[in-house]
Amino acid sequence: MQDIIQFFDSHAKDWDSYWQEEEFVLMHKILDRSGIQKEDMVLDIACGTGILVPFYLESGIQPSRMQGIDISPKMVEIFSHKFPDIPVLCDDFLSAALPENFFSYAMIFNSFPHFMEPERVFAKVAEILKPKGKLIIAHTKTREALDMHHERSSSVVKSHRLIEDSLFLKYYEKYGFIDIVLDNDFYFYTMGIKK
């Protein structure tokens, strides 16, 4: 895990410059599609430098109703500097002390292949979400484009891939999610609602 932390730490200062205009358009679409509500309690898992925060704010979410978490100290430092009113933890999501049945909306954006134990992610999210809470796992690239993007890397993320759709379905169902959506047409998007 330390190599992943070092990778993201090394990119943190330039992270915000990597995003393209078309990705910001997709961020809007992803949040709109997910049905985020101003009353939601949002957990942004692997929040990075807070790229989605302006979109949450635009959706009417108040800073007091957001929580970020990321494993990279440098990413968290930048997040805190940009958004001092929004709490953010520097921790491994799988071992972090987070309240159970508390959040109504959990987002894992452009980061899921970097979780080495994907089933445990579903289990943990199921613990911290309220009934009827949503888990969204999304990427601005399709599965194929994302795989190619990582394959071209010469770094620790070279082998990181999304799990197969069959496993997404299996884990959503195993951990009590219903109304599952899986879409890879123009970007990768999944969502499930906790029973």
The span from the CA of 169 to the CA of 69, in Å, is 25
Q: pLDDT digit of tens for each residue in the chain (195 aa)?
A: 788 888 788 889 998 888 888 899 999 999 999 999 999 999 999 999 999 999 999 999 999 999 999 999 999 999 999 999 999 999 999 999 999 999 999 999 999 998 989 999 999 999 999 999 999 999 999 999 888 766 777 677 666 778 899 999 999 999 999 999 999 999 999 999 999
Q: What is the pTM of this model?
A: 0.93
Would you identify the CATH topology of the domain 2-10+23-32+40-194? Rossmann fold (3.40.50)
Domains of the chain, residue spans: 2-10+23-32+40-194
The span from the CA of 161 to the CA of 1, in Å, is 16
